Structure formats: C-alpha cells, structure tokens
Amino acid sequence: MSISLLANLEKITATRDFASVEHSLLKAIGSTVHVDELSLWSLDSRYEVTKVLHYHRLVQVREGGMERETEHIDTVYTNIEVAPDYRSLAETVVLSKRSAARKRQDGTLHMFPVVSRKAITGIVSMQVRDELTEQDRALIHGILGVYANYYALLDESQRDRLTGLYNRHAMDLNIERMWSLLGSDAHRADPRRNGVVQVHGLAIIDIDHFKKVNDQYGHILGDEILLLVSRLISSCFRRRDPVYRYGGEEFLVVAGAESPPALATLFERVRAKVEAHYFPQVDKVTVSIGYVNIDPGLSPFENIGRADRALYCAKERGRNQVQSFDDLREQGLIKEMRYGSTELF
C-alpha cells in the first residue's frame, strides 16, 4: 500500500465537510490505480444522477524538463448527460449491487457501487487501459468501504435526531461552500431539458402557534407534529435542495427554480400541503414562510436575515401565508438601510 494512498485515506476521515471527503475518495483511488477517466456519481433514491465529480491527473513539464503531477476535480450539478453505454452498465451495478465492467476500444470501463446503510448512494466510474488486477479491485473495495462507513457516520452526526433533516450545525458547516457553488449552478440553459435552475431562494418555515400545541397536548404529540411537518416539507423539494431543522419549530431550505414566479409557487405549495394535511388530535396545522431570492453578492447570513424579516411580516399579517422579502421591499413595506456590509431594518 503506497504512502500516497495512506495519506488520502487519512484525509477521508480528517474532515467534516462532505465535499472534501468526496475529493479525498477520488484522490485515494487515483493514487492507487492508473486511470484515464475517474468519476464519482451521486444518486438519489430513484437512482438518478444528481451530481458528478470528475477527477483529472495532469503532468506539467516545468523548466529544465522537470515533471510535476497535479490533481484537479471538477463538479457538475446541472445538465448532467449520461451516455447510453455508461447508463446501461450503471443499471447493472444498481441491480446487482456489485461492480461491473465493459470492454471498449480504448480500454475497459469499470463501475463500483458506493453502498451506505445497504442502499446504493453513488457509483465510482473509471476507464483504464490495462485490466485491473485482483489486488487493484481489493484496494478499491477497501477504499470505498472506508469512505462509505465514514460518510454514514458524518451524515448521522449532522442530522437532527427527531426529523432526520440536517441540523443547524450542518448548515453552519456547509452553507459557505454551498454559497460559492450557487453561481456555477445557475444560468446554464439546455434546450433539451425543462426546469433549468435560474434562481435560488432561501426560505425560513415556521409552524404557527406551535407552543400552544405543546402546552395543550404535550411534547410527545408536539414531536409527532414536528416529524410529520418535516416530511411534508421535504417531499416538496429535490434531493439536492437542502432542508435544515433551523430551530425548535423552524426549518430553513435553499431551493432552486427556473424563475422567480416558479420559486413563489414552490413555497406556496409547501404552505398548502401542510394546511391540507390532517394531523392527529389537533386536526389542522399551518406554517408561515418568509423567503428571499438569494443575492450571492451578500453573505449567507445577510440573506437569512432577509428571509427572517419576511417571515416576521407573514406572522404579523395573520400567519398561514408566504411572504417574499423582495416583494415586500418593492411595495415599500420593508425599509432597508445599509451601512457597510450590514443591513439595518
């Protein structure tokens, strides 16, 4: 086992950032096996590809003829196209939960499943010129085992125990990185597809009069309502739109849509879905939602502040409604003063 492989295995378990763990996985495999192509595909519960990481190993020739190897990883979130031969091999891997290979003119395409809690959450795809040895395969399976186990532990530590949503700590860890990706995710039109993300919104969702529910019916029923509401909210969003339990009865979500009106419709659908649901004993529960069309030029926490201000207006106006910070500002109902990078309301 090489020193570089050991170093990359150490890196897999040395961070609490999901992206860094994924990068370390690809670097560990890339340092073990000579590959022409190497990618990590993230899959949703329907086995559709939601994200692809492409690994590149480049040799740079410096002055004096000295060679230097560098590693690069590109991330693709939108407009992901999977070639038919790749898709058919991936289907074999998903169905069998085992690695599979296919001979090609320029080498062999190998795919390995990433299995977490007995479910396939991803696929590692690699193109190699020479056939993999049994030792190569054993090392790759070992690396994937370390990765999957650590990823599951990391995921569990960042989940709210009651609802299963990401917790406030996970938001604090991931939101800065997520912010840096918003620009690369938007404005990538593909005429062959509908629903291309053009705008992102950040919403804070609050259960109306939740304290009364706890006071009148007790915390056991209150927890059941929190769980049901969290599932209703999550069902309205794509897997890649993170939903967090932000506070006691508050949830925060960052979601994409093809236009501002579509974003408004999405959050209204969340409100209506909760209102239409029958809840045991209490019958009816509603939520108030405040959201903002994300301005990447502002910090994440300034955008959160704007959404929170819109939520406050929704509560002031009678609850069980959706309010947009941008609409409220345009109507002159929210007056904004800026001092440096700080907003004062």
For residues 37 and 74, state if they share a domain.
yes
Least confident interval from 127-136, 172-181, 294-303: 172-181
Q: What is the distance between the alpha carbons of residues 68 and 61, in angstroms, rounded to a whole number?
A: 6
Is the domain of 23 the same as that of 43? Answer: yes
* Displacement of CA 345 from its chain's centroid (Å): 31
Please, how many CA atoms are within 13 Å of residue 216, restricted to the half-sphere of its CB? 7
Q: Taking 70 as the threshold, does the pLDDT of residue 122 lie above it?
A: yes
- What backbone torsions phi and psi does residue 128 show, to the nearest 5 degrees? -125, 150
CATH at residue 129: 3.30.450.40
When mean pLDDT is compared across 41-55, 89-103, 320-334, the lowest value belongs to 41-55
Q: What's the start-to-end Cα distance of the chain, in Å? A: 59
Residues 106 and 197 grouped into a single domain: no
**What are the residues whose beta carbons fall under 8 Å from the beta carbon of 179, sequence distance 6 or more?**
296, 299, 300
Which of 75-79, 194-198, 281-285, 318-322 tops mean pLDDT?
A: 318-322
Residue 284 in this model has a pLDDT that exceeds 60: yes
Where residue 301 sits, what CATH number does that domain have? 3.30.70.270
In this prediction, residue 196 has a pLDDT band, given cuts at 50, 70 and 90, of low
Q: What is the domain count for the chain?
A: 2
Q: For the chain, what is the mean pLDDT?
A: 86
Asked if residue 213 is part of any domain, the answer here is yes
Q: Is 308's pLDDT higher than 90?
A: yes
Residue 211 has pLDDT above 80, yes or no: yes
User: Do residues 96 and 137 share a domain?
Assistant: yes
- Residues 258, 254: Cα–Cα separation, whole Å: 14
C-alpha Rg value of the chain to the nearest Å: 23
The pLDDT tens digits of the residues spanning 142-187 come to: 999 999 999 889 888 999 999 999 999 889 888 877 777 665 544 4
More confident residue, 247 or 14: 247
Rounded to 5°, angle at Cα 299 from 205 and 17: 80
Q: Is 63 a catalytic residue?
A: no
What's the pLDDT band for 239 if we cut at 50, 70, 90?
confident
Residues 265 and 135 in one domain: no
Please tell me the total number of residues recorded for the chain in this structure: 345
Considering the domain architecture, whether residues 235 and 121 belong to the same structural domain is answered as: no
Q: Residue 131 sits in which domain range?
A: 3-157
- Select from 133, 157, 181 the last residue of a domain: 157
* Shared domain check, 240 and 98: no
User: According to the model, what pLDDT value does residue 126 have?
Assistant: 95
For residue 2, the model assigns a pLDDT of: 62
pLDDT tens-digit series, residues 85-121: 899 999 999 999 999 999 988 899 999 999 987 889 9
Catalytic residue among 67, 134, 224, 249: 249
Q: Are residues 192 and 142 in the same domain?
A: no
pLDDT of residue 217: 93
Contacts of 306 (CB under 8 A, 6+ apart): 292, 325, 343
pLDDT at 345 over 60: no
Average pLDDT over residues 228-254: 93
Mean pLDDT over residues 72-77, rounded? 82
Inform me whether the pLDDT recorded for 341 exceeds 70.
no
Residue with the two structure tokens 């795919």: 111
